[in-house]
């Protein structure tokens, strides 16, 4: 059954093909016995219904023109509709523009042979469409802005346009101007080309050349304003935001009042003290002198004299404490000997509170850092066991005295 169905389909297709060919042949013969397709000139459009003698004048068949202008021309043997007096001046074959043999309408001119800059030769309002009444006033050739396939879109060549004269044309009539939603500050102050390029209106880069008036536009309506989590401040945007291309990289320490860092640096509004920060109630700028980095802090404010060991205990992170072989101390604070807050290498021994010199100056004592004259009691200058340096020397002044 399937094979029979296939055979029937093939026979049906062949029948349709035969009918189609027969219809074409009948159309070409016009019901007559002669098939015009054999001449190489198929009858289509107006030619299919024309009487034979219209083209074959005087019964002459051989040599009848096949090209359009052989008949559609003035003074030809075959009388056919010629070009109108308003036709574009051209020697191109008719079929170069006219693609329909039923009507001359719908012609499309092939501009490939047109001479650049000579558009107005045809586009003069008589031969072909010309500029409308509301066209921009210009002496430039059509092809300076328009393409040959359509009037729109047109691209105006802004080369040679005098800067600052945009609104001469961009005033809303006939050329697009500023919309009602345009930024009012720029609308009243600048020319188009101070923000916009010749290629497109968007993106536009606003000219940020007037300090202190950012909020006139950056108010959340005309342009983006402060976010809901922005630092509370009445300062102008450009006090902190120095870039006109990004909000990032803002520096909020211009003209700040000393001692109020914690107002913002509280861990919520801005970064605050970390969990392992030195315990202190001092303002951030007491130690942190830079507004660009936390590093390089110096914690030696004059008000903290005598409490060095609170931090310099070898435990507080980031703070140097006493080394293992430090000279023994009876509770004396660091700054009694270390007179510099920038280096431990600069120091002068303070003997206050020390009751025995042998703890450091005896040869049996540990080798503490620094210069320390060392002697053996019992063999030094008739000293006796149990004596101390202070039995003969004035403590902390000079061995010679």
| pLDDT attached to residue 322 | 82
347: β partners: 338
What is d(CA 127, CA 122) in angstroms, rounded to the nearest whole number?
5
Long-range CB contact pairs, 142-147, < 8 A, 24+? 143/116, 143/117, 143/119, 146/119
Digit-coded pLDDT (tens) for 341-386: 777 878 888 887 777 888 888 888 887 877 678 888 888 888 888 8
Residue 66: the pLDDT is: 86
The two tokens of residue 353 are 């509170």
Structure tokens at 78: 């075959």
Peptide bond into 342 cis (omega under 30): no
Rounded to 5 degrees, what are φ and ψ at 49?
-105, -5
Residue 335 three-state SS = helix
Who contacts 222 (Cβ-Cβ below 8 Å, separation ≥6)?
Answer: 183, 184, 185, 216
d(CA 163, CA 160): 9
| CA dihedral of residues 299, 301, 307, 311 (deg, nearest 10) | -10
Please report where in the chains the tokens 């349709």 appear, as a residue. 16
The pLDDT value given to residue 33: 67
Q: How far apart are CA 308 and CA 384, in angstroms?
A: 39
Mean pLDDT over the full length of the chain: 78
Q: What is the mean pLDDT of residues 213-227?
A: 83
Q: Hey, CA dihedral for 330, 335, 337, 342, is it positive or negative? A: positive
Give CA–CA dist 206/204, Å, rounded. Answer: 6
Tokens matching residue 3: 């094979």
77 and 87 Cβ atoms separated by less than 8 Å: no
Three-class DSSP category at 375: strand
Query: Which three-class secondary structure state does DSSP give residue 398?
Result: strand
For the whole model, what pTM was predicted? 0.36
What does the block give as tokens for 297?
A: 């802090």
**With contact defined as beta carbons under 8 Å apart, do 131 and 92 qualify?**
no
How far apart CA 352 and CA 346 sit, in angstroms, is: 18
Task: Look at residues 359, 358, 349, 356 and name the one whose alpha carbon lies nearest to residue 396.
Answer: 349
Read off the pLDDT of each residue in 47-74 and give the average, rounded to a whole number.
85
Those residues whose C-beta lies under 8 Å from the C-beta of residue 348, and which sit 6 or more positions away, are 337, 339
pLDDT tens-digit series, residues 296-315: 787 776 566 777 877 787 77
How many angstroms from the chain centroid is the CA of residue 137? 36
User: In 3D, which of 31, 126, 29, 129 has the Cα closest to residue 86?
Assistant: 126
Q: Given this model, what pLDDT does residue 23 score?
A: 45
Average of per-residue pLDDT across 256-276:
81
Name the residue with higher pLDDT: 60 or 24: 60
Question: Could you give the dihedral angle defined by the CA atoms of residues 110, 113, 119 and 123, in that order, rounded to the nearest 10 degrees?
Answer: -40
Identify which of 331, 333, 338 has the alpha carbon closest to the alpha carbon of residue 370: 338
pLDDT digits (tens, 9 = 90+) for 80-109: 888 888 787 777 888 888 888 888 887 888
pLDDT in tens, 105-130: 878 887 877 888 888 888 888 778 88
Look at residue 25 in the predicted model and tell me its pLDDT.
47
Q: What is the pLDDT of residues 200-212, one digit of tens each?
A: 787 777 778 778 8
């Amino acid at each position: 059954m399937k094979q029979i169905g296939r055979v029937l389909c093939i026979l049906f297709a062949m029948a349709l093909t035969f009918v189609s060919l027969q219809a074409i042949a009948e159309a070409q013969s016009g019901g007559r016995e002669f098939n015009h397709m054999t001449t190489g000139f198929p009858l289509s459009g107006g030619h299919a219904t024309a009487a034979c003698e219209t083209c074959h004048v005087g019964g002459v068949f051989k040599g009848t023109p096949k090209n359009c202008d052989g008949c559609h021309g003035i003074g030809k043997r075959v009388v056919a509709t010629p070009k109108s007096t308003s036709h574009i001046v051209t020697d191109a074959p008719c079929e170069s523009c006219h693609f329909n043999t039923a009507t001359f309408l719908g012609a499309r001119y092939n501009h490939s042979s047109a001479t650049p800059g000579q558009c107005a030769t045809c586009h003069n309002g008589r031969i072909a469409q010309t500029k409308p009444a509301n066209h921009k006033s210009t002496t430039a050739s059509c092809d300076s802005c328009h393409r040959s396939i359509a009037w729109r879109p047109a691209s105006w060549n802004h080369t040679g346009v005098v800067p600052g004269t945009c609104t001469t044309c961009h005033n809303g009539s006939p050329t697009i101007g500023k919309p009602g939603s345009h930024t009012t500050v720029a609308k009243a102050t600048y020319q188009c080309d101070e923000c916009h390029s010749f290629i497109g209106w968007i993106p536009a880069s606003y000219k940020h050349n007037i300090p202190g008036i950012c909020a006139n536009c950056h108010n959340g309506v005309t342009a983006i304003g402060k976010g809901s989590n922005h630092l509370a401040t009445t300062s102008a945007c450009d006090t902190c935001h120095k870039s006109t291309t990004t909000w990032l990289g803002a520096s909020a320490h211009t003209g700040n009042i000393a001692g109020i860092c914690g107002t913002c640096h509280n861990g919520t509004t801005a970064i605050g003290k970390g969990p392992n920060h030195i315990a202190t109630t001092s303002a951030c700028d007491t130690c942190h002198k830079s507004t660009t980095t936390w590093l390089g802090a110096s914690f030696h404010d004059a008000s903290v004299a005598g409490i060095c060991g609170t931090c310099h205990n070898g435990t507080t992170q980031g703070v140097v404490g006493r080394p293992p072989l430090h000279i023994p101390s009876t509770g004396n604070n660091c700054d009694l000997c270390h007179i510099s807050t920038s280096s431990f290498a600069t120091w002068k021994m303070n003997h206050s509170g020390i009751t025995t010199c042998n703890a450091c100056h005896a040869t049996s004592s540990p080798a503490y850092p620094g210069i320390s004259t060392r002697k053996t009691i019992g063999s030094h200058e008739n000293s006796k066991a149990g004596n101390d340096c202070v039995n003969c020397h004035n403590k902390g002044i000079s061995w010679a005295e």
